[in-house]
Chains A and B, each alone.
Chain A
């Protein structure tokens, strides 16, 4: 018991020192000492429930990815067959029941058609993306494989996360956290942002921009009833547009998409002074835009954003400079949002907000202040009680307790975990466990003394006998913590992480460190009796 070799002491102090050093930035930040920015972020992250800010959980519509993919395939099939030499004529194209089917006019071309489609069917990755079957000799059926859909959803989520990150960076908020969660979700946490509406408006926009020619042959009465002529489709005007409430028929093919943008800025139309968005195409996009406008001077073309028509101006002259202006009843704010969305690219899939939490920064700061005060008072009471009950051993216990808190903070900072409200429950539990360990040990030493054991034997037995209960209690709580982490959702996990780390620090400080101090003291002063 008294035998504490020097190397072991050095070891213990080294661990303690390291953990406390890791905690220092977090502790000092409370007293507003700046930590140099060059060093990796060393502070314990405070969850948004403590620090204030916005938390948004976005969910992607996986079915939409599948539908979109089917539509893309349809377009791909049409283009491939049209460009084939000689051209392969197809008809009765349908995308019902989640699969694409079409008929070849000439059954003799089936093998060539299959050959041409092979690259699209196999995809670029390792998984086969489509199954191809031929029915009745000339009907080809493409069915998406589930692996292919999974991969498409995965890819879409990956780029969606990237787009979300770009858009939020444009907001200029500090240290946003954007993490993919599960198969179809993205968590966005922005500390300090109190008004999430702006954020949501920004993320709710897919920003799929299209320029399509207006079908002038469509009968207005048909269009209003939702009947599109062959080769056309119908889009409603945006709510902000002057024609809100009515619809427009546009030609399916021959339009261009806003994929090739290099820039987008909010500005004002010099004539009407209304807010507009200026966009710039890259060379490829500019060339196609120039071609479209040159070939269709005098005709109207629709500017379509996320499947609603913003405006449908006439093409007065070819637009060759690779720039264009989008108008459509914007306010300065909405125009700016659109510009940001366009700059960061279109979302490959619609994202919906399924959970949203905001905590005002005032409240968070107030919570922390009051929490700190309460904890301080609580700690002082605990210290007083421990010292009054156990004298010198109580002093050791409380010093160990303080080190425990510092170590726990330090390890949390080093592991870059986040402290949330449920985490505070874990903190309280950890402190409780540490106090309990010392109470157990000290009570046991008392008992051993009462039985007439001599000082050193009593202390030795006290530690030994109490350790069994401490060990069992900690292992059980550890098992519980691990399971909570595995099965629990966000807030429960926050609790579990603190609990697990806390079990280690509390055993280390309450058992090992106090034992070292007690051993030192016993060896140095060789007391005949101890006050306990």
Chain B
């Protein structure tokens, strides 16, 4: 039986040769992402912005009248609504960011939600309310804060652990790779103005998890090779390590991709944002482990002495040959 091999044996791709242009591009992308986030902003869902969201299906229609809905809700006087298709063509999500004085007044916020639903229910016979979220400004502020703290705390602890288990350069490298992944994901969400909600935070966390896995596998091999080949030039050693783990990297990424694609293509609409985020992160995370996390070690200056091996493999073989062991 012949088994499938996604990556041929003994690849020898010179990843590190292109490290400067790739790094330059990545830095630019990171900068562009943050520029987008700060200028265009994120399309916060009600979780983070407060306000209310109504999700509905027009059971008898092929397509939901998005433009008409936008005008109708706007005339109710709660500011400009965000009306988006959501899943099927006949499903919509209507988001209204309530003015602060309404948002602070719980009863007014309630009345606004009822007002919108009742108006639409009377205007459209086939309007089926699928769900609604109503988040006060206070709670959404707390969500933003705890999400941020949780992310920062997790990233800091990850870097610390890698520093302890490997060396500080690896900790910095892993942190940079994670920063790269999170930045680019945020940039994408800002660019396409995809709704940014608590679910997306979960997606980002999953991305961090994947990317971290990748990075650690590569780092583990670098650590191993640093002990094994003490005389090798660092770029060559990094290339060797990445090539050795390439089959695994590709295999894992492809496996996860085939698991995610069905979810993306015909999974529930409510999962779309999250799965899209994870899929995006899969590419970004794999890229960053190979092109960011490893090359940065060249500049940070890792040496084989970092792991203070008392004796190398070569030493051991020499000893064996002399019959000392």
Interface residues of A (CB under 8 A from B): 49, 57, 194, 197, 200, 352-360, 362-363, 366-368, 370-371, 373-375, 377-379, 381-382, 385-386, 388-391, 421-422, 424-426, 428-429, 431-433, 435-436, 439-440, 443, 446-447, 450, 465, 468-469, 472-473, 475-477, 479-480, 483-484, 486-489, 491-492, 494-495, 499, 531-532
Contacts and interface: CB of A to CB of B under 8 A. Distances in A.
B197 to A, nearest CB: 9
B190 interface: no
A352 B108 CA distance: 12
Contacts of B3: 388-391, 531-532
Contacts of B224: 465
Contact of A374 (B221, B256, B266, B274): B266
Contacts of B324: none
Interface stretch (B19-27, B69-77, B145-153): B145-153
A200 B110 CA distance: 10
A432 B136 contact: no
In terms of DSSP, what is the predominant structure of the interface of chain A? helix
A366 B208 CA distance: 29
Given A354-B138, A362-B128, A371-B267, 19 more contacts: A357-B133, A358-B133, A363-B57, A367-B271, A368-B268, A370-B268, A381-B259, A386-B255, A425-B206, A428-B260, A432-B213, A432-B255, A443-B248, A469-B220, A476-B212, A477-B212, A484-B205, A488-B146, A491-B202
Interface string B264-285: 0111111100100010000000
Nearest to A200: B110
B62 interface: no
- What are the nearest 4 A-B pairs in CB distance? A422-B202, A367-B268, A469-B220, A378-B259
A425 B202 contact: yes
A49 B202 contact: no
Contacts of A429: 206, 209-210
In terms of DSSP, what is the predominant structure of the interface of chain B? helix
Interface string B119-133: 000000000111111
Contact of A359 (B9, B131, B135, B247): B131
Contacts of B129: 194, 360
Nearest to A485: B150
B199 A422 contact: yes
A366 B91 CA distance: 13
Contacts of B268: 366-368, 370-371, 374
A200 B107 CA distance: 11
A432 B133 CA distance: 31
A389 B201 contact: no
Contacts of B110: 200, 353
Interface stretch (B157-165, B292-300, B310-318): B157-165
Contacts of A428: 206, 259-260, 263, 278
Contacts of A353: 106, 110, 134
B136 A476 contact: no
B144 to A, nearest CB: 10
A354 B136 contact: yes
A492 B205 contact: yes
